[in-house]
Chain A
């Protein structure tokens, strides 16, 4: 694929994902807004994928270390976000 087609494809995905995001997030009730923030935080840790590539392919010592640092911070985001969200959501109970 030529570079321009790649860019157009990526932009298409970007714009459509934003629309999907707006549609599903507006349906989240206010009572779950804090878990929404911590959970979406965990998802933004997806940068860990790019970090894994840099740390694994090791084009140079510097990129390997940058990759390592990025993995640490992204993983704090991922584990911290998902675990704390799970902890919060398991507290939400209906009247019995």
Chain B
């Protein structure tokens, strides 16, 4: 082993340590900013030590780094916080594509420079196949997720007869193609065909998944992009790729499991179930439960209710972000806090469109993170809460998930806002949430419906409070 090689490997070790410390530091918001920068430093070190190889020419490298770096930075600075799920979806896809391209180049290099092989041919070709397969599925799956989230494409589940069989056949074809690449690495056409079949599989895997399940899909594709990088590590026999890829793979798997648990559904059910489609037919059904029981309220009445209470909990959902009402929510919270009222925010794990999305949206509006309370922590406190204000959330506060074992959302953990003394639901109408079922919460004796746009309702309530 020569000196350059040793320095490189030590550099990769340092980069791996920085990646691990970078993710470890995300355990607390206080250490997180520094941790993320440590991860970035690790990446810089890994790139720099790679550049000092013998016999390298740098024109393509510099051009690629500049073009990609500039595009990435612009995306990162321009994307609004509401658009974060789309951006992460796109980045997942690009990560997968990069891994698949590196695998393709490695396959060609095998022939041009067989002396460069450090490991067994079977290991390298199998890893090339895996990298191309996972990378291509990640790319097109992520692009479809992006199109759905950006609402360029319908967010509804797109279903067709025999779809499970088609997907199973394509999956089997991919495995056969990987085996053929291992048996015959000189046939580069096989790599191309594998990429195309896997790309089609990626599209078909994501189009039947409805908008409500997108958080799970993004988390899963996050994991895939890591696994693709790890597979590329086996192609190049490179430790840092394997370590970084496994860390990301593990992260994506954990987030996927958390999201599934928060909806009380198995991963198989999310990927192959027809939850989104079944609910489609039920849209508008069951409205009779509201008849004669719904009480509506106004800004003046809400201001009166809020006068003299001790504890208020806001329950934000994605609708809050759509209405751009985060700042108005924080303003109302500040007015209440000035009057000595205890204000908290109850965050359901699937509030927003990706794991932790609602927390970011509220952080952007300068809501302190220690006022954002997880579901398991806030639920026992809700019985002692005077007023819960539900903003743009629906299914995650639907008591049937807890009370009716036959409901489509039975067993899904919910925020028990119905146990609060008074519940105020700010909503434009009595329409159903993603699950497509009525919400008996709206008809409870302690519930008041405030039919309005969330932002306007909050601003009017602030004005009414100030007039008192």
Q: Is B347 in contact with chain A by the CB < 8 A criterion?
A: yes
Interface set, chain B 219-242, CB cutoff 8 A to A: 219, 222, 225-226, 228-230, 232-242
Interface set, chain A 63-96, CB cutoff 8 A to B: 63-96
Number of A-B contacts (CB under 8 A): 390
Given A41-B88, A73-B97, residue A51 in contact with residue B102 (CB < 8 A): yes
Q: Which residues of chain A come closer than 8 Å to B238, judged between CB atoms? A: 49-50
Q: Which residues of chain A come closer than 8 Å to B226, judged between CB atoms? A: 40, 43-44
Given A13-B242, A93-B363, residue A43 in contact with residue B247 (CB < 8 A): yes
Contact of B232 among A21, A47, A83 (CB under 8 A): A47
Contact mask A36-72 → B, CB, 8 Å, 1/0?
1111111111111111111111111011111111111
B93 shortest CB reach to chain A, Å: 9
Contact mask B69-103 → A, CB, 8 Å, 1/0?
11111011101010010011001101101110110
B356 touches A32 (CB 8 A): yes
B57 touches A40 (CB 8 A): no
| Nearest-CB residue, chain A, relative to B33 | A89
Q: Which residues of chain A come closer than 8 Å to B73, judged between CB atoms? A: 79-80, 83
| Nearest-CB residue, chain B, relative to A96 | B368
B43 touches A51 (CB 8 A): no
Contact mask B32-58 → A, CB, 8 Å, 1/0?
110011011011001100110101111
A55 touches B91 (CB 8 A): no
- How many interface residues does chain A have, given as a range? 35 or more
A67 shortest CB reach to chain B, Å: 5
How far is it, in angstroms, between the C-alpha of A25 and the C-alpha of B257 when the chains are bound? 12
Q: Which residues of chain A come closer than 8 Å to B113, judged between CB atoms? A: 59
How far is it, in angstroms, between the C-alpha of A57 and the C-alpha of B112 when the chains are bound? 12
A77 touches B242 (CB 8 A): no
Q: Is B305 in contact with chain A by the CB < 8 A criterion?
A: no
| Nearest-CB residue, chain A, relative to B27 | A27
B53 touches A56 (CB 8 A): yes
A50 touches B241 (CB 8 A): yes
Q: Which residues of chain B come closer than 8 Å to A76, judged between CB atoms? A: 68-69, 71-72, 75, 91, 94
Given A6-B120, A44-B225, residue A33 in contact with residue B255 (CB < 8 A): yes
Q: How many residues on the B side are at the interface (Cβ–Cβ under 8 A)?
A: 116
B125 shortest CB reach to chain A, Å: 12
Given A57-B53, A93-B363, residue A84 in contact with residue B76 (CB < 8 A): yes
Contact of B94 among A35, A60, A74, A92 (CB under 8 A): A74
Q: Is B151 in contact with chain A by the CB < 8 A criterion?
A: no
Q: Which residues of chain A come closer than 8 Å to B354, judged between CB atoms? A: 33-34, 37
How far is it, in angstroms, between the C-alpha of A7 and the C-alpha of B99 when the chains are bound? 20
Q: Is B406 in contact with chain A by the CB < 8 A criterion?
A: no
Contact of B33 among A30, A62, A79, A86 (CB under 8 A): A86
How far is it, in angstroms, between the C-alpha of A85 and the C-alpha of B69 when the chains are bound? 15
Q: Is B245 in contact with chain A by the CB < 8 A criterion?
A: yes
Contact mask B89-128 → A, CB, 8 Å, 1/0?
0011011011101101110110011000011100100000
Q: What are 15 A-B interface contacts by the 8 Å CB criterion? A: A10-B239, A21-B247, A37-B354, A44-B95, A45-B95, A45-B98, A50-B105, A57-B109, A59-B113, A60-B112, A76-B69, A76-B91, A81-B72, A82-B36, A95-B371
Closest 8 CB pairs of A and B: A75-B68, A21-B250, A71-B64, A33-B356, A79-B72, A3-B120, A80-B72, A56-B56
Starting from the known contacts A6-B118, A34-B357, A50-B238, 19 additional A-B residue pairs (CB-CB under 8 Å) come to A10-B119, A20-B20, A22-B254, A28-B26, A33-B356, A37-B251, A44-B228, A47-B232, A50-B99, A51-B101, A53-B53, A54-B105, A56-B53, A63-B108, A67-B101, A73-B97, A74-B95, A80-B72, A89-B32
